[in-house]
Amino acid sequence: MKNVFMIGLGLIGSSIALGIKRAHQEVVITGYDQKEVQDIAQKRGIIDQSALSLSDAREADVIILAIPIEATLEVLKELADLELKENVLITDTGSTKSEIVSLGQQLFAEKKVRFVGGHPMAGSHKSGVLAADVNLFENAYYVLSEDCPELRTLLSGLHAKFIVLDAAEHDQVTGQVSHFPHILASALVLQSDAYAQKHPLVKNLAAGGFRDLTRIAEADSLMWTSVVLSNPQEVVERIENFKAQLDDIAQKISSKNQTGIKSFFDDGKKIRQAMEIHKGAIPNFYDLFVSVPDEKGVVLQVLALLQQFSITNIKINEENREDIHGQLQITFKTAQELEKAREIIKIATDFEVA
Amino acid sequence: MKNVFMIGLGLIGSSIALGIKRAHQEVVITGYDQKEVQDIAQKRGIIDQSALSLSDAREADVIILAIPIEATLEVLKELADLELKENVLITDTGSTKSEIVSLGQQLFAEKKVRFVGGHPMAGSHKSGVLAADVNLFENAYYVLSEDCPELRTLLSGLHAKFIVLDAAEHDQVTGQVSHFPHILASALVLQSDAYAQKHPLVKNLAAGGFRDLTRIAEADSLMWTSVVLSNPQEVVERIENFKAQLDDIAQKISSKNQTGIKSFFDDGKKIRQAMEIHKGAIPNFYDLFVSVPDEKGVVLQVLALLQQFSITNIKINEENREDIHGQLQITFKTAQELEKAREIIKIATDFEVA
């Protein structure tokens, strides 16, 4: 019988616990967090028992850290001072990997401890144990810094897609697709605000495109400060590289290079289209476009047909003509659901489905 | 009786025509476009008669150009060679203003022609005369390069919010909130694609934040090339300014300036929140956030309560935990509708409304 020690019972830790239990009722999960949180988690059957202190981790076969990056680094050091079970498996869930995996390897090199870095790439706007969701990681990528069949098996109930990525590669990839974009979004907000001092209508005329570009600027600033400080080199490298991208297009604009500018926008469009919809390579980004008349009740009508599916987004793209296609854009969690939904709408309505 | 000559019967021209007729049935609208388009517009009552050639504009009291920027510049020159009515009013709808207004003033300086630059800041994903929508400009900002009571009156049926902005100011503001963001989005796509050559998982691990940042990269590349070429100085200036922004945050990251990085993200968050929701300064961006349980049918339940309202967007923010709050985010067209909807949800459900 396996003993799992879950450090951190927020959204991630609690949801992982639920996922573990879904596939392995026999696993005993001990939770470690503030007392009030432990109580809630135990009452809700998320964990089986509450730890009195970190040293209860000595009983564990598997230790999972579901806490912020800085806390992860601290707790790993504390765990290294404990007399842990032989061949215990320790894993984390941090948004960056190099710093954590490097420390883990360092601390546990001489011990019979297996450390595997982890990063479940999913979440929700909600936080805390009350938001625990057994389906949180469904179809989400779960990165492991090295392959670990035991961990994959333990976490099979998460229904996540496990991929192995060494820590450095992980930080480079997430640096590009996640960390640097957060910098971009916030920088655009700050730039616009500064410009608004002399051009006040900046605050009024910002429309759909601006809104989408800057939405993630409202993310948790504490968390993002930690993430960026934990992956500084890659982020700065992406910033420098991006400046070169900007120089390139600025030069084309200054020299009125119409062909060059058109290629810039054409390539961006083509590549972006290929990234998302045609390949369906991004989990949870299965979009169906339905052309609907501008009448009341139409959205409800379409949604009523699709109640059995896991819809994550319904966008009635009230686009500025300077932005692009909207229509009714319905996002499903899986390709199969999208296809079924497409068929249903084709049969039950005369709405055009892209 | 006023004669209006509408050059261009695409989405914008047709929708403006419908708006004019809504408030002024007595106005006679002559449409100028390809024959097939004129036929459709006339059949649908969008225009009263079809022009045989541009010279029919000689009869017009008001001439409206609803065509792309480059075509606008060309047609203005052609109009300048015609014997137009004395005191004819000419206006355009181009996305940039300096180039067009400058030419208009130049061409018509010695004539009894009033030229007023215009930019209705609205649209939809649809295009063409078949997409004509009398409500397209409802609550949208309609920029005029100088005040023109006659034009405001003629276009009163559009239900737009007219604001006067000199051409240079317009191009600076839209350069910041619209043109430069398009450059950013495409540049991020291109950067990511280049990086994906060595880091292929960039294509798979891009999530919600990346998707939102790059969505407008799928805009009409021909149109955006024109826009950028028509406002080159402002766009390049914003690019240079942005590089300085990037240098600033890169420096903070390299020097591990935690306080500085936190302020960067905090300020971005605060400013962005103030831009959109609390002030309701952006037309059509009246958002209601409802915290709903993760159950089937819940979205339908909420929407069924809100059928009487003009909802433009329902976002079930399936966010990555690294992004921020989503919840059920419902966008209304007016503040009044938002408030009514808030009350209804409070009374009819036990869902938390932010």
Residues B131-175: pLDDT tens digits? 898 988 988 899 999 999 999 999 999 999 999 999 999 999 999
What confidence score (pLDDT) does residue A250 get?
98
Confidence of residue B317 (pLDDT cuts 50, 70, 90): low
Substitution target from B14, B67, B186 for chain A, most A beta carbons within 10 A? B186
Confidence of residue A317 (pLDDT cuts 50, 70, 90): low
The lowest-confidence range among A35-39, B153-157, B318-322 is B318-322
CB contact under 8 A, B249 and A183: yes
Instruction: Find the radius of gyration of the CA atoms of chain B.
Output: 24
CB contact under 8 A, B318 and A331: yes
| pLDDT above 50: residue A330 | yes
CB contact under 8 A, B209 and A215: yes
Of A125, A191, A219, the CB nearest to B241: A191
What confidence score (pLDDT) does residue A291 get?
79
Give A48-92 pLDDT, tens digit per residue. Answer: 999 999 999 999 999 999 999 999 999 999 999 999 999 999 999
Substitution target from B93, B205, B269, B305 for chain A, most A beta carbons within 10 A? B205
> What does pLDDT average to over chain A?
89
What confidence score (pLDDT) does residue B14 get?
97
User: Residue ranges of the alpha helices (H) in chain B?
Assistant: 11-23, 35-43, 69-80, 98-108, 149-154, 167-174, 180-196, 202-205, 208-214, 221-230, 232-254, 258-273, 298-305, 335-348
Of B199, B249, B324, the CB nearest to A172: B199
What confidence score (pLDDT) does residue B125 get?
65
| pLDDT above 80: residue A199 | yes
Give CA–CA dist B278/B284, Å, rounded: 13
Asked if residue A100 lies in contact with residue A73, where contact means CB atoms within 8 angstroms, the answer is: yes
Set of chain B residues whose Cβ sits within 8 Å of the Cβ of A18: none
Evaluate the CA torsion angle B19, B20, B26, B31 in order and state its sign.
negative
CB contact under 8 A, A265 and B229: no
Asked if residue B122 lies in contact with residue B160, where contact means CB atoms within 8 angstroms, the answer is: yes
Asked if residue B320 lies in contact with residue A12, where contact means CB atoms within 8 angstroms, the answer is: no
Question: Residue A79 has which token pair?
Answer: 């765990």
> What does pLDDT average to over chain B?
89
Question: Residue A192 has which token pair?
Answer: 């616009």
Give CA–CA dist A227/A186, Å, rounded: 15
What confidence score (pLDDT) does residue B285 get?
56
Beta-bridge partners for B6: B31, B64
What confidence score (pLDDT) does residue B283 get?
42
B325/B191: higher pLDDT: B191
Rounded to a whole number of angstroms, the distance from the CA of B135 to the nearest CA of chain A is 10
What confidence score (pLDDT) does residue B40 get?
96
Give CA–CA dist A261/A257, Å, rounded: 6
Rounded to a whole number of angstroms, the distance from the CA of B290 to the nearest CA of chain A is 12
| Strand, coil or helix: B263 | helix
Confidence of residue B209 (pLDDT cuts 50, 70, 90): confident
Give A133-162 pLDDT, tens digit per residue. Answer: 898 898 889 999 999 999 999 999 999 999
| pLDDT above 70: residue B327 | no
The lowest-confidence range among A14-18, A48-52, B10-14, B297-301 is B297-301
Whether the complex's predicted ipTM is more than 0.85 is answered with no
What confidence score (pLDDT) does residue B291 get?
79
pTM of the model: 0.82
Give CA–CA dist B116/B212, Å, rounded: 36
CB contact under 8 A, A125 and B236: no
Asked if residue B178 lies in contact with residue A207, where contact means CB atoms within 8 angstroms, the answer is: yes
| Strand, coil or helix: A312 | strand
Asked if residue A267 lies in contact with residue B190, where contact means CB atoms within 8 angstroms, the answer is: yes
Give B57-71 pLDDT, tens digit per residue. Answer: 999 999 999 999 999
Rounded to a whole number of angstroms, the distance from the CA of B86 to the nearest CA of chain A is 34
Give B84-142 pLDDT, tens digit per residue. Answer: 999 999 999 999 999 999 999 999 988 899 999 999 998 766 789 998 989 889 888 99
Long-range contacts: A332-340, Cβ < 8 Å, 24+? A332/A286, A332/A287, A332/A288, A333/A138, A333/A139, A333/A283, A333/A284, A333/A286, A333/A309, A334/A139, A334/A286, A334/A310, A335/A280, A335/A286, A337/A286, A337/A309, A337/A310, A338/A286, A338/A287, A338/A288, A340/A309
CB contact under 8 A, B176 and A193: no
A336/A70: higher pLDDT: A70
Inter-CA distances, A300 with A304, A312, B272, Å: 6, 15, 31
CB contact under 8 A, B124 and A314: no
